[in-house]
Amino acid sequence: MTNAAEGSSRLRLSTILNFAAGGLPLSALGLAMAIYVQPYFAKELGVGLVTIALAFGITRALDMGVDPLLAILMDRSKTPVGRYRAWMIAGVPILALGVYQLFMAPHGIGLTYLIVWLLVYALGSSLVLLSRAAWSATLVTRYDQRSRFYGYVGAITAIGSFLVLGTPVVSKYLGHGRPNDVQLMGWIILALIPFGLGLTGFFVPERVNPNTSSHRFPLRDYWALATKPEVLRLFVSAFALTLGPGWMGNLYIFFFTDARGFDTSQASILLSVYVLAGVLGAPLIGIIGARFSKHRTMIAATICYSLGLCTVTIVPKENIWATLPVMVWCGFMANGFDLMTSAMMADVGDLVRLEQGKERMALLFALTGLAAKIAAAAAVVISYPLLAWVGYIPKLAAHNSSAAIQGLTIVFILGPIFWVVLGGICFVGWKLTAEKHAEIRAELDARDAVMARMTMEEAGILSP
């Protein structure tokens, strides 16, 4: 394990690959939880839609304050292996336990079972995701290279999603006596967790930025951070841009099987195309963001995504070839949401460190992470009761009327469009441009150099 700053903001390819490897289980897990696990609870295990919505809502309510508290501890910590690395490693066994209990859930589970293991899963994912997000922001410091870095990492980590997406297709050839699709996904994710996060934990360097002010954390600093316009915009956008695609993801299997006439394997193929388009789109969107600014790229991506989603009901039903272009278009655009948000929050983190003299990167990412968590729960809490309200029944072999299917279609389309458009509006008038960030980095680099020299003088390495 290396705990050193890199001399250049340009990372080695090996560093990018090792850091991206830690995202393989996370991308697989995120897609499986959003697309397959909740419908599996409803269809295969017979858990009611309202029960599922209630479990996710209660979990998010109990979990709401965890990320900011963990972030404060992370930003203040300094261990022999780095500031954020130790926290990521601590989260690995907790995350694995939560994954096992949810993906291998037995028949007869109820509200209590879901709440307990969703909380364990939430704690593990918070430790891993939050530490990785803050760590990533310290790896690359230049405005343009951050866009490209997050684009490349996003493309590589999407391989984990493909492993999950291929499960329903491959499992058809495994014969009787095999685990069901969700259980197979769980075993894949459980194998990826120690592999991917191990590569990150042992082979990626971590730069520990120095604090220039006292280690006290006055409340006015937190208030100034929470009310900062850039932070507020990113919080709302993270909520909206998670809720929109998350809404679509939670209803995806229902919509594409019952409203569009595809079977589960065909729906998985279409979703694979959606993810593949995102893999190709991530580095391109990163390059576009570096060239034309991140906020303009984000606004354009949200508009294009919404226009593309409108066309999904126009193409013929049960026609996989006619549906493919829609999935390519939407997948290309959607993959830019998270990577641009992360790149912009890293820029805001530099601004905050310059103003307050303390590292706040984990806390800043905790705020967008909190917004994303609330949105992920809201996607279930809002959309599933809406499905019940329009009369849609998700159980296997259930008969749904044409009115219920029409209601499913309306809920599936309008929800994501509304939230994604709102997420794009958040960046109208964004002021933290490339030029402004370059000025911030110049001041930070000069101050960090002074701090480094003072530290070396105190250690007797350099003479005063």
Could you tell me the residue range of the domain that residue 373 belongs to?
13-206+241-432
pLDDT given at position 456: 65
Please tell me whether residues 354 and 376 are part of one structural domain: yes
**pTM, whole model, 2 decimals?**
0.79
Residue 238 to residue 368: CA distance in whole angstroms: 6
> Is residue 221 assigned to a domain?
no
Q: Is the Cα torsion angle 125, 131, 137, 139 positive or negative in sign?
A: negative
Q: What does the pLDDT look like over 318-339, one tens digit per residue?
A: 899 999 999 999 988 987 888 8
pLDDT at 344: 93
What CATH number is attached to the domain comprising 139?
Answer: 1.20.1250.20
Q: What is the pLDDT of residue 21?
A: 94
- The amino acid occupying position 251 is L
Same domain, 91 and 110: yes
Distance, in Å, from the CA atom of 283 to the CA atom of 122, rounded to the nearest integer, reads 29
Identify the pLDDT of residue 177. Answer: 55
Same domain for 24 and 133, yes or no, is yes
Residues 345 and 389 in one domain: yes
Tell whether 1 is covered by a domain.
Answer: no
Same domain, 312 and 341: yes
Q: Over the range 173-185, which residues count as b (16 or more CB within 10 Å of their CB) and which as e?
A: eeeeeeeebbbbb
- Amino acid identity of residue 98, one-letter, is G
Would residue 319 count as lying in a domain? yes
Quote the CA–CA distance of 63 and 66 in Å, as a whole number: 5
Q: What is residue 312's DSSP assignment?
A: G
- In the predicted model, residues of the chain with pLDDT beneath 70 are 1-10, 169, 172, 174-179, 211-219, 395-398, 455-464
pLDDT at 34: 77
pLDDT at 7: 37
| 104 domain residue, yes or no | yes
Q: Nearest CA to 171 among 181, 158, 183, 156?
A: 181
Query: Does 198 reside within a domain?
Result: yes
What is the separation of C-alpha 19 from the centre of its chain, rounded to a whole number of angstroms? 15
Q: Indicate whether 172 belongs to any domain.
A: yes
Tell me the two tokens of residue 175: 């014969």
pLDDT tens sequence across 157-187: 888 888 887 787 677 676 655 668 889 999 9
Is 80 inside a domain boundary?
A: yes
Q: Which residues pair with 82 in a beta bridge?
A: 79
Instruction: Give the integer Cα–Cα distance in Å for 52 and 385.
Output: 10
- Same domain for 440 and 403, yes or no, is no
Do 53 and 141 share a domain, yes or no? yes
Give me the pLDDT at residue 302, please. 94
User: Do 439 and 404 lie in a common domain?
Assistant: no
Question: By the 8 A CB rule, do 36 and 182 touch?
Answer: yes
Check whether residue 341 and residue 442 sit in a common domain: no
Quick one: pLDDT at residue 174? 67
Domain count, the chain: 2
Q: Is residue 224 part of a domain?
A: no
pLDDT at 4: 38
pLDDT in tens, 414-455: 989 999 999 999 999 999 999 999 999 999 888 888 877 776
Regarding whether 153 and 255 lie in a shared domain, the answer is yes
CA distance 403 to 396: 18
| Phi, psi angle pair for 203, to nearest 5° | -125, 5
Q: Tell me what pLDDT residue 179 has.
A: 64
What pLDDT score does 346 carry? 92
| Same domain as 402, residue 387 | yes
For residues 346 and 461, membership in a common domain is answered with no
